Chains A and B, each alone.
Chain A
Amino acid sequence: MLTVNEETCVGCGWCQTFCPQDALHAWGYLEIDYEKCDECLVCIEFCPTDSLSMTNS
């Protein structure tokens, strides 16, 4: 499951522009639409603050 570290995420929305599923939405904080996310990992690579990770469960 894609997880965002709310302590370090700044809400820059870079990840939103790279997600092929349109599953991310930044509005001062990041919202993940788990219905749309297919766990492709792309957004993790592009996060400038290393705030995204994939966790089991």
Chain B
Amino acid sequence: MGQKQEKYDAVVLGSGIGGLCSAALLANKGYKTLVVEKLPIIGGRCSTLKYKGFKIPTGVVAVPMSGVLRSIFDDVGANFDVSPITVPPKYLIDKRIIDEPSDGQPLSILSRFCSDEKEVSMLKRGIEKAGTWNAPSNETTLLDFLHQYTGNKNIISYFNNKCDIFFTVGAHEVSAREYFLSHTGSLKDFQPIGFANQGSISLMKALKKAIEAKQGRVLTQCRAKKILVRNGIAEGVVVEGKNGETTILATAVISNTGPKKTVALAGKEHFDRGYLKQVRNMMPSLQMWVTTISDRPLFDVPFLFTLKTRRLLTFLSASLISTGLAPEGKYVHYSISGPATQTGPWNLKNEVNLHIQDLKDNLPDFNKYGEILHVGCYWGELPTYSNTPIAGFNNIPQKTPVENLYNVGDGVAKEGGFSCGSPGCALTARIVVEDIENRFKPGQLF
């Protein structure tokens, strides 16, 4: 065929957070590693767009300060340029601002939403039981669970908001089991949260630097065209870069393109029917991000959670933490909304307009001083999450039916416990690299 050929221990398809964490860990352990990224920029949904002097996230904005993501940065010696948010969030409900209690107890806030102490204490007991004794069934929604203890609209709106932000799906749809299991898993890493000082792309650049320091390579504008499989074993990948096609032979093929694309790249004949059904049933979720700029802060704390709105979930005054996100003397704010149901279909224009109407109705300073810079919708092929944890959903494991072909990143998870956002993606990298280390040594292919 005359096609160029190269050999690696591991090839990683995609430079999202799952891909770069895997590659950095592998390179650090001495595996010859190549990352191929189809776009000219790295990071996928953990990157930063620059527009008119302001920085706009492509996804990750709230970065977990502890846990697995942080530990990977420390292990590979990558700079973690993130400032923690030390100011507690505020809640906006029925045009009132509610402060978070300062006792450090996450459930104390419930008493500020409901004056019936008996009801609150029953609910707290129920939540405690779900955490320490047995999480509810995967078929139970969180709303079903809450209704066993309370019908209080404020409390329900609080849980709705929390679910919509962390799971991208409201209490009426989220799996109560995943909700509770996540609290001991990936959600725990979000305490405390920080913002990357120069935008999340700086974290991805730090990982790239760590990979390159260990002789790994990260190629942009290099697209995986086909995953090579023989006798049920992955052998490498055909990539297309600026100089045409190259065959990359590798002992491990790690896809960060999402399980659906992984199947398409390898050919569905290599996967069993059950696996294909699981992948087909994945439900991507929609969120909308609006970037607002101004000459002054539009709110006094970095995190404002907006309850009982039509669509708006949170308003982040990012410049209050990271001054590198806006030109000097200017401020940038990110607001997030989600649809009423993740099962769609949605009228996106209408969804965006409802988001903006909520901003106008709830934030007086937005009307006076705010200017909308950018609107971004994330769903379908570029979802907020690619496998939304609605009740009855199925976790997809990192290992595929094809030997030596792994998925990392969003959409795959550890058994039991939905992997939320960046820590979830980092965890998949950790698990896959540990498996590779147990299975083969660097240089096995040569």
Which residues of A are in contact with B by a Cβ distance under 8 Å? 8, 10-14, 16-18, 26-29, 45-46, 48-49
With A28-B348, A48-B44 given, is the CB distance from A17 to B375 under 8 Å?
Answer: no
On whether the beta carbons of B377 and A28 are closer than 8 Å, the reply is yes
Stretch of B48-56, B306-314, B436-444 contacting A (4+ beta carbons < 8 Å): B48-56
Distance in Å: Cβ of A3 to nearest Cβ of chain B: 17
A16 to B351, alpha carbons, bound, how many Å? 19
Complex Cα gap A17–B375 (Å): 11
Contact of B49 among A10, A17, A28 (CB under 8 A): A17
Number of interface residues of B (CB under 8 A): 26
B17 to chain A, nearest CB (A): 15
Q: Say yes or no: is B264 at the interface (Cβ < 8 Å to chain A).
A: no
Q: Which of A17, A28, A49 contacts B349 (CB 8 A)?
A: A28
Question: Could you tell me if A17 and B50 are in contact, using CB atoms closer than 8 angstroms?
Answer: yes
Q: Is the interface of A mostly helix, strand, loop or mixed?
A: loop
The distance from the CB of A56 to the nearest CB of chain B, in whole angstroms, is 23
State which residues 39-59 of B face A: CB under 8 Å. Answer: 39-41, 44, 49-51, 56, 58
Given that A28-B348, A45-B39, A46-B41 are contacting pairs, would A12 and B51 also be in contact in the complex, using a CB cutoff of 8 Å? no
Q: Is the CB of B379 within 8 A of A27?
A: no
Q: How far is the CA of A15 from the CA of B377 in the complex (A)?
A: 13
Residues of chain B with a CB closer than 8 A to A11's CB:
348, 375-377
Chain A hits for B349, CB < 8 A = 27-29
**What are the 5 A-B residue pairs with the smallest beta carbon separation, nearest first?**
A28-B348, A11-B377, A17-B51, A28-B349, A17-B49
The interface residues of chain A lying within 8 Å CB-to-CB of B381 are 8, 10, 48-49
Q: Which A residues are CB-close (under 8 A) to B40? A: 45-46
Residues of B within 8 A of A29 (CB): 348-349
Q: Which residues of A contact B352 (CB under 8 A)?
A: 27-28
